[in-house]
């Protein structure tokens, strides 16, 4: 089955073609970073309009790269939510309309399920069951994964997600948008142990996350210290280490609670090198395995939507003719795929 994947949940237009037998055939991505940079964050209306401009040319490119015609497709998968509703509806309308015109099935994909399954695109995918750490700008959650659609959310962010805290702290430090990667780059120049930041909510058994207080602690530290490059690098280092340590502590608890020996990490923040190194070391000490998507599939992309959609289409699931987006959509409400 050849499936076209469409991702438009926020500020990146991702298109890909996945073949259930041959694997990923093509993927292309357009980022709106430059468009939103002047505003210091994503402007929803501008994001939606840019998706409208870019989506059809990108679909044509993905098909050309896969050496396929539109008529060669067997299904279409698109992000149905969660995300910016205007942006989501652009991909949903285009995807559902194309499927209708071609007489092929369509499926709306949960954005975070796409991220969760992104490591399955690698040569050595994780086997079920496993614990998944989904960590991005909008979400931070730990999930017990027994199969596709068999999800139990063990803990999630009660306020700012980790990626959101990275971006907001970067903005407090005067770093350009997108701030998270820039803060991580600055942190690489900092010295360890110059500042001691709290590890939020690690003093209680809960697997939930809270990073708004850590952001406030960083803001107070920034205001109280000299405004020079070295000091900012040291503060960035302390902030990043606090986030990484917090995520590691919670992952270790989740693994102990479930008894699983496999950990999957996905989402934009999963590209962070300090986090990857820390979790690799953790899983080595626990005699377990850790799985990541390649860096280009950590952020939003069409490949993960194409893969997730293919699995659901193969199981017989399809979308009706109604075009609907879900800006909020609990992950644990998804239908399980029978194995």
Any idea of the CA torsion for 31, 36, 37, 42, to the nearest 10 degrees? -100
> What's the token pair of residue 38?
């002047």
pLDDT, position 318: 96
pLDDT, position 165: 95
228 appears as a binding residue in the annotation = no
Query: 47 near 300, Cβ under 8 Å?
Result: no
Same domain, 169 and 228: yes
167 appears as a binding residue in the annotation = yes
Question: Residue 223: helix, strand or coil by DSSP?
Answer: helix
pLDDT, position 338: 78
pLDDT, position 309: 98
> What's the token pair of residue 198?
């709290």
pLDDT, position 113: 98
51 appears as a binding residue in the annotation = no
Q: How many domains does the chain have?
A: 2
pLDDT, position 211: 95
115 appears as a binding residue in the annotation = yes
The rounded distance, in Å, linking the Cα atoms of 122 and 134 is 17
149 appears as a binding residue in the annotation = no
Query: 161 near 135, Cβ under 8 Å?
Result: yes
Contacts of 281 (CB under 8 A, 6+ apart): none
Regions of the chain where pLDDT drops below 50 = none
Query: What separation in angstroms does the CA of 317 have from each of 15, 42, 313?
Result: 21, 33, 5
Q: What is the per-residue DSSP string for 262-329?
A: EEEEESGGGG-HHHHHHHHHHHHHTT-EEE---GGGTSS-HHHHHHHHHHHHHTT----S-----SS-
pLDDT, position 339: 63
Same domain, 43 and 91: yes
Same domain, 214 and 314: no
Can you give the residue range of the structural domain that contains 20?
2-117+297-333
Whether 338 maps to a domain, the answer reads no
């Amino acid at each position: 089955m050849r499936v076209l994947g469409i991702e438009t949940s926020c500020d990146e237009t991702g298109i890909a073609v996945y073949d259930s037998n041959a694997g990923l055939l093509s993927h292309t991505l357009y980022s709106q970073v430059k468009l939103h940079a002047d505003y210091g964050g994503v402007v929803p209306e501008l994001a939606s309009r840019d998706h409208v401009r870019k989506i059809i040319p990108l679909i044509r490119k993905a098909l050309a790269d896969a050496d396929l015609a539109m008529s060669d497709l067997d299904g279409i998968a698109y992000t149905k939510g969660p995300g910016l509703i205007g942006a989501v509806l652009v991909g949903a309308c285009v995807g559902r309309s194309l499927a209708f015109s071609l007489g092929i099935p369509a499926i709306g994909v949960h954005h975070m399920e796409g991220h969760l399954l992104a490591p399955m695109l690698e040569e050595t995918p994780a086997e079920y069951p496993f614990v998944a750490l989904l960590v991005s700008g909008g979400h931070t959650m730990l999930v017990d994964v027994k199969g596709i659609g068999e999800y139990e959310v063990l803990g999630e962010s009660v306020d700012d997600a980790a990626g959101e805290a990275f971006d907001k702290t970067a903005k407090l430090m005067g770093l350009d948008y997108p701030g998270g990667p820039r803060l991580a780059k600055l942190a690489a120049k900092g010295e360890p142990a110059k500042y001691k930041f709290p590890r939020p909510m690690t003093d209680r058994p809960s697997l939930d996350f809270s990073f708004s207080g850590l952001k406030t602690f960083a803001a107070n530290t920034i205001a109280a210290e000299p405004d020079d490059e070295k000091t900012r690098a040291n503060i960035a280092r302390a902030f990043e280490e606090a986030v990484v340590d917090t995520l590691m502590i919670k992952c270790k608890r989740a693994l102990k609670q479930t008894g699983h020996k496999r950990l999957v990490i996905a989402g934009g923040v999963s590209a962070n090198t300090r986090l990857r190194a820390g979790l690799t070391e953790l899983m080595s000490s626990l005699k377990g395995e850790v799985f990541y998507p390649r860096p280009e599939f950590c952020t939003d992309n069409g490949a993960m939507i194409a893969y997730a959609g293919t699995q659901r289409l193969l199981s017989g699931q399809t979308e009706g003719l109604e075009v609907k987006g879900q800006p909020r959509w609990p992950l644990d409400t998804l239908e399980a795929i029978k194995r």
